[in-house]
């Protein structure tokens, strides 16, 4: 079928155009996103095309990650040319080259890192950092795209407290943070060619184990999902002074343990995933002022907890991994929840621990 026929017709191969794209009938169609999924077993990582819904899965890597352990973390490099997988139970870090046409390239990095739980490339892709559930709980390495890691940076002089499950750089790359299972539940460090001084803890710390964190796109606010009510906390942030005074909780808080945090591209909407119905709570947010009234719940709910959440760059969809038969799901978004997207075509055969979207 000629590409031009798709541009002029709403029906392709007997399906509405968008379903044809999702089914993979038009291999030349360009996805609007690429969803990486970490898995609880082999092949440990899968990548799916995203159009306005889930598309076909790319072929598995030619050389799978070593070991058979569950992969907790998966993350794209900022330029999208590399993808890192963190296998906790096998204590293996694997990094592949990637291109959007052919998918997985060479496995250019594989090394042991005890109890690794999450990973993230720095802005500019010059470094890659990892969280761990064993001391020292945080690690960082210089990184070269397509080649791999250099000599590990020295540990911070003040280590995080407790098992670390999430790690994120600030948008400026001048700070790096982990969530942890022991008080103060979040630890943030200055960064400049290595770990700098740990920032002072927030005056009001999260109320329980930290599971996820994220900076707003501007870097002026930081959100933490945690285990006890109100299940998430948001703070003003400055790379100079650190944490500001915690924002007041919204009038309606999540109904259970906060699993994930995700800022919309505008920075004016914050999603919190959790383990009790309706499983996702979304709030309007104004930096410096705080929360508006919680958006109405989706009309069609999933049947289990939601975990990592990622907004599409357009702001018109939010994707996540979840309990349930498909293990990943999505809603359309336009100033509130719209349709619940169909399940993926290529079913995931092993549960998902996290996702990342580029």
pLDDT along the chain (358 residues), means of 10: 29 33 51 96 95 95 89 97 94 97 97 96 98 97 97 98 97 98 98 97 98 98 98 97 98 98 98 97 98 97 94 97 88 97 83 95
- Who's near 199: CB < 8 A, 6+ residues apart? 175, 188, 189, 190, 242, 243
User: How many CA within 13 A on the CB side of residue 267?
Assistant: 15
Task: Give Cβ neighbours of residue 328 (< 8 Å, ≥ 6 apart).
Answer: 35, 37, 48, 54, 319, 320, 321, 322, 344, 348, 352, 355
Q: What is the CATH number of domain 71-302?
A: 2.130.10.10
Look at residue 22 in the predicted model and tell me its pLDDT.
45
Helices (H), the chain: 3-8, 17-23
Q: What is the largest CA-CA distance in the chain?
A: 63
The whole-angstrom separation of Cα 87 and Cα 93 is 6
Show me where the domains of the chain are located: 1-30, 71-302
Distance CA(181)–CA(200), nearest Å, equals 18
Burial 117-141 (b: 16+ CB within 10 A, else e): bbbbbbeebebbbbbbbeeebbbbb
Q: What is the pLDDT at residue 324?
A: 75
CA atoms within 13 A on the CB side of 86: 29
Closest CA to 189 of 200, 201, 173, 175: 175
Positive or negative torsion for Cα 215, 216, 222, 225: negative
Distances (CA, A) of 209 to 222, 224, 346: 16, 10, 34
Q: Rounded to two decimals, what is the model's pTM? A: 0.91
Within a 10 A sphere around the Cβ of 76, how many other Cβ atoms? 21
Nearest alpha-carbon partner for 254 in 289, 218, 291: 291
* CB atoms near residue 211 (< 10 Å): 27
């Amino acid at each position: 079928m000629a590409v031009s026929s798709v541009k002029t017709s709403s029906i392709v191969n007997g399906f509405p155009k968008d379903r044809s794209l999702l089914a993979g009938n038009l291999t030349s169609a360009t996805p609007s996103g690429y969803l990486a999924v970490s898995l609880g077993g082999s092949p440990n990582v899968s990548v799916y095309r995203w159009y306005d819904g889930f598309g076909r899965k790319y072929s598995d890597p030619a050389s799978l990650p070593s070991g058979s352990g569950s992969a907790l973390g998966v993350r794209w490099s900022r330029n999208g040319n590399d993808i890192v997988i963190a296998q906790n139970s096998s204590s293996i870090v694997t990094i592949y080259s990637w291109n959007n046409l052919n998918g997985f390239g060479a496995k250019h990095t594989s090394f042991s890192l005890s109890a690794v739980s999450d990973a993230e490339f720095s802005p500019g892709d010059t470094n890659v950092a990892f969280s761990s559930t064993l001391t020292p709980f945080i690690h960082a390495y210089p990184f070269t795209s397509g080649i791999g890691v250099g000599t590990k940076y020295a540990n911070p002089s003040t280590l995080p407290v407790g098992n670390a499950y999430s790690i994120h750089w600030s948008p400026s790359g001048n700070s790096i943070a982990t969530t942890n299972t022991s008080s103060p539940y979040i630890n943030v460090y200055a960064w400049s060619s290595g770990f700098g001084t740990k920032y002072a803890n927030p005056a009001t710390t999260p109320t329980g184990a930290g599971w996820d964190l994220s900076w707003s796109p501007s870097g002026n606010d930081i959100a933490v999902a945690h285990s006890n009510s109100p299940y998430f906390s948001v703070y003003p942030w400055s790379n100079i002074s650190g944490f500001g005074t915690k924002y007041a909780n919204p009038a309606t808080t999540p109904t259970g343990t906060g699993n994930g945090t995700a800022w919309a591209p505008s920075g004016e909407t914050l999603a919190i995933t959790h383990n009790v119905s309706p499983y996702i709570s979304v709030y309007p947010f104004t930096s410096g002022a705080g929360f508006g009234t919680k958006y109405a719940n989706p009309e069609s709910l999933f049947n289990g907890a939601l975990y990592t959440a990622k907004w599409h760059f357009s702001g018109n969809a939010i994707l996540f991994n979840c309990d349930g038969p498909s293990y990943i799901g999505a809603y359309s978004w336009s100033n509130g929840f719209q349709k619940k997207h169909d399940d993926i075509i290529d079913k995931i055969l092993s549960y998902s621990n996290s996702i990342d979207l580029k």
